[in-house]
Chains A and B, each alone.
Chain A
Amino acid sequence: MKTGPRRSGGAEPGREADLVRAAQGGDQAAFAEIVRHFQRPVYRVAYALTRNAADADDLAQETFVRAYQAIGRFRVGEPLYPWLSRIAVNLAYSLFRRRRRRPETPIEPLVEAGRQFGVEDDPAEHAAEAERRARLAEAFGLLSPEHQAVLTLRVVEDMTYEEIARSLNVPVGTVMSRLSRARTELRARFRARSGEGP
């Protein structure tokens, strides 16, 4: 089943297994290499789910701390990234629960809007585009954590259905139906907030 190119990064499968084995043996340099291989995709997931740089930083770091603690139980030969993304997603769920509300409006899109100001040919158009994306991010923040997670892994990470299923510990069929519902829900939320369709 083709589901688009991978954007996850990471090490070659053979190298990945070697690193895991070494890390399980207590080799901290090997674990540091694992961190370097996966820091970007883990941060991407963390940011997409929190939409806040400080939270994303915390969540990404904590993901690797939990991975370090549990790597002894990781089965060598399995792909690492779905496991890491699962930890990140579950940490994000915990964060959502602790807050008992949705993440705040992010400041980064606003900063980005200003950062690119003057570079674009048409600042007004750029501002409108940034505004639209901010609204879409807000609508995304109103989705259930499960819908946010499945959309993040598919849209931001380009993960295959099988990888998403492994990451979220659900059947592939559930991934398919959950993605469909998440997209429909996002469209409805966005329309309700902005009065238009994306």
Chain B
Amino acid sequence: MSHLTGDQLSALLDGALEGRAREEAERHLETCAACREALAGLSAQESDLRAALEHDPGEAYFDEFAARVSGRLRAAGLSGAQARPAEGRALSDWFRSPRKLAWVTSTAAVVVVAGIVMITGREWKMPLLSSREIEKPAPQGESARPPVAQPEAAAPAPAARKSAPAPGEAPARGDQAKGEAPSAARLQQAPGPSAPTSRAYEVRRSPSGEDVPVHRPGEFVYRPPRAAAPPPAAPGQPVRVTKQRYATPMGATNEAQASRGGARPATQEEGATAQVAAPEPSPAAPATAGKAATAADQARTYAYQQEAEQKLDSARKLAEQVPRATPAFGNVRAFNRDAADPFAGQSTYTRTTARNAQRLTALAERMGVPSAWDSAAGEWDRVLLDTAGGPLENETRYQVARARYMAWHGGATEIRTKRATEALEAFLARVTSGARHDQARRWLAEVKP
């Protein structure tokens, strides 16, 4: 027998070979060292991959997960919207399902129209729809409406609202919802009687993946409204603009696509997963402002994560240089893991910065080197920018003060003394009693005798 194939080794690894095939493969393995080695290599790769792909966000994360999903559903206005029978064959089901009802109605309408055409066709000579005269564009003066509407005039909001599912009603398919906006735009800017009515516009796919209207001289062209251009990037942040969409939550991205009124059809996967359309944004101004704030928060978070990535990499490299953790700080599983996370209810950006500050703090506790505490303090300073003036300011200031003190304690320098003093004094100015106050006073007495 020749060597086992990749398929055989893979199936052996999964225990998926059965009967004679399995016996033969096992007999071969007994005598072939190369195949045994290959199988062992696959097995080792599997174990390593499992370890590499796993991540435990902690119990606290899962404790609140269902509540966060619930919040997202509420934000999308989906309470109870999913409730409807699965599949039914009763006659009444045809009238409960909007899609089936639409099918029945449209079929009936076609039959009625065909009947009318047949009756009236005997009396009047109908114009041929393929006539070149009909397809010829009308002179400008004859058109009652401007041929090309401004993007603002063709805003798809009313149509989008019309397509939003009512509570208890089955939501529309994703591809239908996406196709709705351009249809509505076409209706709004219906051309004059002699303009071509059978074609709204043709598009071609640009190298960047966008649908670009194809324009021929003298032909009516519909241009779908485009999203507003993002503001110019600040100096030193060129990546932020292009990556904002990556950090946008999926729901927000879908809404953004819907609001752009893009004419691109839903892709296969979108159709498969989004058997229902993403919820249409509410027209109310506060909701729009809230979504804009959320998107801004997500964009900030993403930009921040790019920096955090580098920072944590530096911390890891630093950790590699330290031969062994200081015993006093060893074996700490995670920062504050057992306690409830005070930053849990904050914005995504604040939670992300706080989480990384907590991680850097935990790292510093294990490493016990002052530079690690400097990093942690810097990260807490960043969190403070967001929590200042809020209920979490004191908590954040305590973490800053503690990290600054620990950095000073590990290696006092002029700048560390100054920063620790400032941080401790700032905390003590706001917290005038309690255990943390007493501790901060003791630390300050050490730093500034």
- A associates with B: yes
Query: In the complex, how many angstroms separate the beta carbon of A18 from the nearest chain B beta carbon?
Result: 15
Task: State which of B143-151, B219-227, B321-329, B385-393 sits at the interface with chain A.
Answer: B321-329
Q: For the complex, is A136 an interface residue (Cβ under 8 Å from B)? A: yes
Q: Are A109 and B52 closer than 8 Å at their CB atoms?
A: yes
Partner of B273, one of A53, A66, A110: A66
Residues of chain B lying within 8 A (CB to CB) of residue A176: 7, 10-11, 16
Residue of A nearest to B323 (CB): A123
Query: In the complex, how many angstroms separate the beta carbon of B303 from the nearest chain A beta carbon?
Result: 12
Partner of A94, one of B18, B273, B322, B330: B273
Q: For the complex, is A144 an interface residue (Cβ under 8 Å from B)? A: no
In B269-285, which residues have CB < 8 Å from any A CB?
269-270, 272-276
Using A53-B55, A64-B69, A65-B69 as known contacts, say yes or no to A4 and B41 having CB atoms under 8 A apart.
no
Query: In the complex, how many angstroms separate the beta carbon of B23 from the nearest chain A beta carbon?
Result: 16
In A124-145, which residues have CB < 8 Å from any B CB?
124, 127, 132-134, 136-137, 140
Query: In the complex, how many angstroms separate the beta carbon of B439 from the nearest chain A beta carbon?
Result: 24
Residue of B nearest to A70 (CB): B275
**Size class of B's contact patch?**
35 or more
Q: How far is the CA of A75 from the CA of B86 in the complex (A)?
A: 7
Partner of A105, one of B52, B55, B309: B309
Task: State which of B27-35, B42-50, B126-134, B412-420 sits at the interface with chain A.
Answer: B42-50
Q: Are B55 and A183 closer than 8 Å at their CB atoms?
A: no
Partner of B66, one of A32, A105, A133: A32
In A83-101, which residues have CB < 8 Å from any B CB?
86-87, 90-91, 93-95, 97-100
Interface of B, helix, strand, loop or mixed by DSSP = helix
Q: For the complex, is B6 an interface residue (Cβ under 8 Å from A)? A: yes
Partner of B7, one of A44, A115, A180: A180
Partner of B46, one of A51, A68, A112, A155: A155
Q: For the complex, is A186 an interface residue (Cβ under 8 Å from B)? A: yes
A-B pairs under 8 A by CB, number: 253
Question: Interface 1/0s, chain A 96-121, versus B by CB < 8 A?
Answer: 01111000110111111111011100
Using A110-B313, A113-B316 as known contacts, say yes or no to A94 and B82 having CB atoms under 8 A apart.
no
Residues of chain B lying within 8 A (CB to CB) of residue A156: 50, 53-54
Q: How far is the CA of A111 from the CA of B312 in the complex (A)?
A: 7
Q: For the complex, is A171 an interface residue (Cβ under 8 Å from B)? A: no
Using A26-B80, A35-B65 as known contacts, say yes or no to A133 and B273 having CB atoms under 8 A apart.
no
**Size class of A's contact patch?**
35 or more
Q: Are A133 and B83 closer than 8 Å at their CB atoms?
A: no
Using A94-B250, A176-B7 as known contacts, say yes or no to A23 and B55 having CB atoms under 8 A apart.
no
Q: How far is the CA of A197 from the CA of B13 in the complex (A)?
A: 17
Question: Interface 1/0s, chain B 241-270, versus A by CB < 8 A?
Answer: 000011101110100000000000001011
Query: In the complex, how many angstroms separate the beta carbon of B440 from the nearest chain A beta carbon?
Result: 27
Query: In the complex, how many angstroms separate the beta carbon of B337 from the nearest chain A beta carbon?
Result: 10
Query: In the complex, how many angstroms separate the beta carbon of B334 from the nearest chain A beta carbon?
Result: 7
Residues of chain B lying within 8 A (CB to CB) of residue A190: 45
Using A1-B16, A26-B83 as known contacts, say yes or no to A118 and B325 having CB atoms under 8 A apart.
yes
Residues of chain B lying within 8 A (CB to CB) of residue A118: 324-326, 329-331, 366-367
Query: In the complex, how many angstroms separate the beta carbon of B333 from the nearest chain A beta carbon?
Result: 8
Residues of chain B lying within 8 A (CB to CB) of residue A197: 41
Interface of A, helix, strand, loop or mixed by DSSP = helix
Q: Are B250 and A187 closer than 8 Å at their CB atoms?
A: no
Q: How far is the CA of A24 from the CA of B82 in the complex (A)?
A: 7
Task: State which of B70-78, B108-116, B182-190 sits at the interface with chain A.
Answer: B70-78
Q: Are B82 and A115 closer than 8 Å at their CB atoms?
A: no
Q: How far is the CA of A99 from the CA of B209 in the complex (A)?
A: 12
Residue among A48, A65, A74, A99 with most chain B CB within 10 A: A65
Partner of B53, one of A3, A152, A187: A152
Residue among B62, B269, B313, B325 with most chain A CB within 10 A: B269
Q: Are A68 and B73 closer than 8 Å at their CB atoms?
A: yes
Q: Are A136 and B48 closer than 8 Å at their CB atoms?
A: yes
Q: How far is the CA of A23 from the CA of B82 in the complex (A)?
A: 8
Partner of A62, one of B251, B302, B331: B251
Q: Are A72 and B250 closer than 8 Å at their CB atoms?
A: no
Partner of B15, one of A2, A51, A53, A86: A2
Q: Are A183 and B10 closer than 8 Å at their CB atoms?
A: yes
In A18-36, which residues have CB < 8 Å from any B CB?
23-26, 28, 32, 35-36
Q: Are B14 and A107 closer than 8 Å at their CB atoms?
A: no
Q: Are A65 and B78 closer than 8 Å at their CB atoms?
A: yes
Interface residues of A (CB under 8 A from B): 1-4, 23-26, 28, 32, 35-36, 39-40, 43-44, 47-48, 51, 53-54, 56-62, 64-66, 68-76, 86-87, 90-91, 93-95, 97-100, 104-105, 107-115, 117-119, 123-124, 127, 132-134, 136-137, 140, 151-152, 154-156, 161, 169, 176-177, 179-181, 183-184, 186-187, 190, 197-198
Please name 10 further chain A to chain B contacts, defined as beta carbons within 8 Å, in addition to the given A111-B316, A123-B319, sorted by A numbering: A36-B65, A47-B55, A54-B247, A91-B273, A98-B253, A107-B312, A114-B362, A140-B53, A156-B54, A180-B6
- Which 8 residue pairs of A and B lie closest in terms of their CB atoms, listed nearest first? A118-B325, A26-B83, A90-B273, A180-B10, A48-B53, A198-B45, A133-B52, A114-B363
Q: Please, could you name 21 A-B residue pairs with CB atoms under 8 Å apart, sorted by A?
A: A1-B16, A32-B70, A47-B54, A65-B69, A65-B72, A66-B273, A69-B81, A70-B276, A72-B84, A76-B86, A94-B250, A98-B253, A100-B209, A104-B309, A114-B312, A115-B366, A124-B320, A136-B49, A176-B7, A180-B10, A198-B45
